[in-house]
């Protein structure tokens, strides 16, 4: 083979390899939403309101971090899939779940306090 043909094949191989790596990197966070950061939530229920802060780390679709609010501090776990997410923590034997939608910088949804009722929230980084 001529060196010109080899160079062309080499170039095509590199372009294909780089394209493949780029496509793989897009799939690294299939959700497309990055929730990593500090989130301040505005929570409202029929009887009270609050502004807890969530410090969230994201790895793929998995969410971890901490809740810090008027009930204290607790570790959180959760998931994000597309624009939908769910965060859960336990405080004094009660499991609290935030479920909602996000664009990566703002969010809104519902809070479930188990037997203690429900609330709504909005939030932003």
Q: Which of 114, 88, 102 is nearest to 39 (CA)?
A: 102
What pLDDT score does 20 carry? 37
Could you give the percent of the chain with pLDDT greater than 90? 73
What pLDDT score does 71 carry? 84
| Domain residue spans of the chain | 1-29, 37-124
DSSP state, 71?
A: T
17 has a pLDDT exceeding 50: no
Rounded CA-CA distance 81/65 in Å is 17
Q: How do residues 72-95 score in pLDDT, each as one tens digit?
A: 999 999 999 999 999 999 999 999
Q: pTM for the whole thing? A: 0.76
Rounded CA-CA distance 125/105 in Å is 5
Domain 37-124 in CATH 2.40.128.120: yes
């Amino acid at each position: 083979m001529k060196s010109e043909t080899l160079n062309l094949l080499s170039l095509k191989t590199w372009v294909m390899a780089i394209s493949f790596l780029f496509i793989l990197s897009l799939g690294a966070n299939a959700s497309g939403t990055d929730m990593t950061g500090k989130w301040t939530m505005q929570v409202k229920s029929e009887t009270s309101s609050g502004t807890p802060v969530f410090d969230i780390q994201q790895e793929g679709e998995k969410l971890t971090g901490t809740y810090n609010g008027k009930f204290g501090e607790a570790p959180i776990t959760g998931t994000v899939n597309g624009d939908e997410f769910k965060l859960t923590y336990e405080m004094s034997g009660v499991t609290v779940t935030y479920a909602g939608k996000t664009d990566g910088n703002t969010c809104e949804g519902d809070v479930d306090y188990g037997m203690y009722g429900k609330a709504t929230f909005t939030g932003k980084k």
